[in-house]
Each structure stands twice: as C-alpha cells, then as structure tokens.
C-alpha cells in the first residue's frame, strides 16, 4: 500500500514508529520537521517510486495523504509514458 510505504520513509527520517503515522497526520506541524527533513522526504520518495516531485509543489504537502495523492497522480501519469522516463533524474542531479 502506497500510504504504508510513504509512512515508512517518513518514519525513517524523523525516527519514529511508522505505525504511529496516520493518513491525516499533519507531519510538519506534528513532528516539528525541519526544511532539510522535508528535502530528504522528497528525495527518498522520488527514488522509491521513480517519479519527479516538482519543488514548487512541495509546500502543498501538509498531511501524509497529500503526498500519497501526489505520488498516485504522478504514477498514473507515468503509466502512460514509456518506461524509465519516470524519474527524470537529470532534473535534480
């Protein structure tokens, strides 16, 4: 399940138990996440799901489900594209 995977990535960064994270958790507020943690979250999600997250979209991630929805949308867009075009790694590297 997408949510579980995102929760695991998040839990890994802020070092808490993934089971404590809920879809409606406002993670930045609740866990006092720093900007650098958010950047890590973005990078790790991109690697895990092989997608591109645009930097100007990041400020819209408030609840865990916001990220999940975003990834879902990207994955369905990618499904329509030829393979390995998913994460355009040249973007941010």
Partner 1 sequence: MENNAFDRAFEEERLKKTISLAKEQLSALRAKREEKEDEIVYLKKEMTEVTAHSIPNLWSTDNFYDLVQLSQYANSVSDKAAGHDHESNKIMTLERIIDSPYFARIDFKFDNKDAAENIYIGLSTLLDEQTYKIYVYDWRSPVASVFYRFTTGKVSYEAPAGTIHGEVSLKRQYEIKDGKLEYFFDADIQIIDEFLRLLLSKNASPSMKSIVETIQRDQDIIIRDMETDLLMVQGVAGSGKTSVALHRAAYLMYKGLSSNLSSNDIVIISPNTLFERYISNVLPELGENNVDTVLFEQILRSVLKTEDIQSRNEYLECLLTSGDKKYRDLLKSSMEFKCSDKFTGILKRFITELPNKRIEFSDVYYDGKHIETRQLLKMKLLKQNKGALLAFRLEQLEKSITESIHEKRKMRMKKLSSIISRQPVHVFEAEEVARMLSILESTALIKNIRKFTRLDCFSLYKELFADKNSFYRLAKGIKLPDNIEEIINFTLKNLEKDRLQYDDALALVFLNLKTKGYTDYAGIKQVVIDEAQDYHPIHFEILNALFSKARFTVLGDVNQTIGKHEDISLYDRLRNILNRKKSALVTLDKSFRCTSEILAFSSQFLDSKSGIRSFSRSGDVPKVIAAGSPSALDDLIIEEISTCQEKGYRSIALVCKTEQDSISLHERLKSRTDIRLVKSGTVIDLSGVFIIPVYMAKGLEFDAVLLCDVDNRHYNSEDDKNLLYIACTRALHRLNLFYTGDKSVLLQ
* Site residues, partner 1 (CB under 8 A): 35-36, 38-40, 42-43, 54-56, 58-59, 90-93
**Pick 29 or 54: Cβ nearer partner 1:** 54
The continuous run of DSSP H or E covering 68 comes out as helix 64-79
State the nearest-atom distance from the C-beta of 13 to partner 1, in Å: 10
State the nearest-atom distance from the C-beta of 91 to partner 1, in Å: 6
**Pick 11 or 58: Cβ nearer partner 1:** 58
Residues contacting residue 46 through CB under 8 Å, at least 6 positions apart: 52, 53, 87, 92
Gap between the Cα atoms of 32 and 44, Å rounded: 19
């Amino acid at each position: 399940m997408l949510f579980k995977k995102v929760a695991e990535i998040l839990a890994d960064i802020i070092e808490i138990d993934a089971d404590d994270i809920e879809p409606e958790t406002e993670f930045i507020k609740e866990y006092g996440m720093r900007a650098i943690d958010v950047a890590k979250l973005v990078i790790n999600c991109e690697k895990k799901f092989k997608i591109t997250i645009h930097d100007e979209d990041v400020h819209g991630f408030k609840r865990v489900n916001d990220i999940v929805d975003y990834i879902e949308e990207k994955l369905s867009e990618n499904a329509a594209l030829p393979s390995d075009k998913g994460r355009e790694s040249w973007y941010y590297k």
